[in-house]
Amino acid sequence: MADSATTQRGNDNSLAASIRDAALAAFLVAILGFFFLALRTDIAPGGLALTTRWGLWFTAIAIVFAGRLLLNIFVFKTDKPITRVLSGTGSAAGNALPGLGKWLGRALFAFALVLPFFFITFFPSQQRQFIDLAILIMTYIMLGWGLNIVVGLAGLLDLGYVAFYAVGAYSFALLSTHFDFIGFWVALPLAGILAAFWGVILGFPVLRLRGDYLAIVTLAFGEIIRVVLLNWYEFTGGPNGISGIPKPTLFGLEFSRGEGGFADFFGLEFSTIHRFIYLYYIIFILAIITNIVTMRLRRLPIGRAWEALREDEIACRSLGINTTNTKLTAFAIGAMFGGFAGSFFATRQGFISPESFTFLESAIILAIVVLGGLGSQIGVVIASIVMIGGIELLRNIGFLSQIFGPGFDPTQYRMLIFGLAMVLIMVWKPRGLVSTREPSAVLKEKKKIGADMVAQGEGH
């Protein structure tokens, strides 16, 4: 029995079998694609006109044949699937270099500290674009870290995190447009508090829920907030959004041309880049605060209670932990950081509308947390850079539009790329890029805890 299985397997492994299998797949594509790709009907004067697109049809067949052949050779019909080799090297690298994450974190921090000046010096022609991209990535890092408290530490799957981002943004926008004396720095804590308040409001109904039900209700809550913002025309401006949101000032100095501006005060030549650098440092500091507070909370009893809650809620209750309050604090603190990021988003854009707070945003933030590795801070950074930065860079790569035609916009394929990245990472590292857990207290020797032991909590 075992012998016949191995022989069978041996036959399967031959190159001929791989090619045969790939040819079959290509044949299927040829049949299906003939009607969908090769033939196309257009409305023409006097009825429908049939046009053919043989180039597209052949390209599709060739892609499927080549893709299937490569998969067969490297994954499906080999004794050493490349996926297994990859995950092997991945974990081996993690074990061999225990300090890698720490040093990578320090290097990234040092780079982030000088990033605007790096781009000004080395890429003066594209400095504005790069710093803007850095601001965007930093915003997602901050959102990822905020969501990591709820999903990674407390283990509560939140699909509506963008709601708190929206609450923060609208809090700042409405406060600053209605009250002249409220600037960015006054509104920032208020936006955080309001978002935390909404975090508690959301927390209450979901406390009793577990698993999939928790995820669905948080998803619904995110949509409710967006739909209210869209329809409460008198208050939020509905789909028109809110414009004219003030820019942040540096101790009262505005980043404007002329008398009394930042450049004038310091005797510099006016440049719009100053404001971008300033915005970058605001979000950088906000993100670093998020990180420091989260790392600190992990070592405090509340953080340990969150992680214990993720591991076993019943055991938590038997040890006298009020699970209701513990969950609510996780929601509130996660929401607060979302609110901070939201008010930064509002001041950076100067204009907000409900369109910026769709479910897609929640999905992207969650994807960043999951891809980075639940509970891992450095993982969120890497995932943000790859997901957000990578896609924005695609936009600038000229050769893609030469291949796919001038109308090709890679950002339209971001969900496809997200999906592909998800699949690849889930094959390679099923628990995210950085899946080991660092203990929050050490007696003698710090040992990393493997992902297979760490529970994922509710809704995963």
Binding site for another protein (CB under 8 A): 293, 296-297, 300-302, 304-305, 307-308, 310-312, 314-323, 329, 437, 439-447, 449-450, 453-455
CB of 296 vs another protein, minimal distance in Å: 6
CB of 94 vs another protein, minimal distance in Å: 16
Cβ-proximal residues to 316 (8 Å cutoff; 6+ apart), any chain? 305, 308, 309, 323, 326
From the list 52, 33, 49, the residue with the least C-alpha distance to 41 is 49
Q: In terms of CB distance, is 77 or 429 closer to another protein?
A: 429
Q: In terms of CB distance, is 31 or 441 closer to another protein?
A: 441
User: In terms of residues, how long is the chain?
Assistant: 460
Beta strand 47-52 with 39-44 is: antiparallel
CB of 303 vs another protein, minimal distance in Å: 9
CA pair distance 161, 148, nearest whole angstrom = 11
Residue 400 burial (CB count, 10 A): 15
* Chain CA centroid to CA 189, Å: 24
CB of 101 vs another protein, minimal distance in Å: 18
Q: In terms of CB distance, is 60 or 316 closer to another protein?
A: 316
From the list 166, 160, 210, the residue with the least C-alpha distance to 191 is 166
CB of 293 vs another protein, minimal distance in Å: 7
CB of 324 vs another protein, minimal distance in Å: 9
Q: In terms of CB distance, is 291 or 347 closer to another protein?
A: 291
Q: In terms of CB distance, is 141 or 308 closer to another protein?
A: 308
| Neighbour-count burial for 57-86, b at 16+ CB within 10 Å, e otherwise | beebbeebbeebbebbbeeebeeeeeeeee
Q: Tell me how far CA of residue 244 lies from CA of 136, 172, 193, 239, in angstroms.
A: 20, 12, 23, 15
274 contacts 268 by C-beta, under 8 angstroms = yes
Place of tokens 């939201």: 342
- Tell me 337's DSSP state: H
Q: In terms of CB distance, is 91 or 271 closer to another protein?
A: 91
SS3 422: helix
Q: In terms of CB distance, is 307 or 392 closer to another protein?
A: 307
CB of 304 vs another protein, minimal distance in Å: 5
